[in-house]
Structure 1
Amino acid sequence: MIGYGDRARTQCEVVRLFRETHPDLPSLNQGTISKIEAQYREMGHVRKVPSKRQAVVDDDTKLNLLLALEENPITPARQLARDNCQKYCKPPGIQSMHSNNKNLISRSNSK
């Protein structure tokens, strides 16, 4: 375990020390300390790292959105998405139907 103060401590000692030092906060368990330590060893810090997402829309769609906003700046975001992002947005319920079909197919193949 990474040292705290003048010496290294076990994870159980860190849990006990945290409970004694901060009785007003919710107590941590050994698993939480283990995850924090693993993240520190891997990254060198324990700050949350924002996940990087890839762009979902192409340049033509971005241009269409900007032009639509330029024509009518008070257009609601939902309407913009409905009008310009059809090939990226699935209608409600489609994803759940596909996942149900996959489950049915895998069940029928396993028999």
Structure 2
Amino acid sequence: MFPIAWVVVEGENYDSWSWFLGLLFDDLGIDHGYGWTLISDQQKGLEYAIKQRVPAAEHRNCARHVYVDLKKKHNGHVLKSCFWRIIRCIVESEFKRALNELAAILAGI
């Protein structure tokens, strides 16, 4: 993971994101986003700007940001360990087993 562009704007909002993504996608030659997956944090206006600029691209939230939101409601070492084990799974059966474990942990909280 490495930065490919940055910009200074008046604020993180839809207009700023739309402008920035328009320039970035034009420079990279990305039209509709087919074959692209974008991973980002949960900034205001970003999800909508991505959907408008590259509707065919997959957009997902960064795992660290998802965990931070989960941790606000449910804290604990067991939960943390289980969450990151899910993220690191590369085999579907391991993923499903870890996901069931997380569901059980959350049901017990």
- Classify the TM-score, shorter chain: under 0.3
User: TM-score, normalised on structure 2?
Assistant: 0.27
**What is the TM-score of this pair, normalised by structure 1?**
0.26
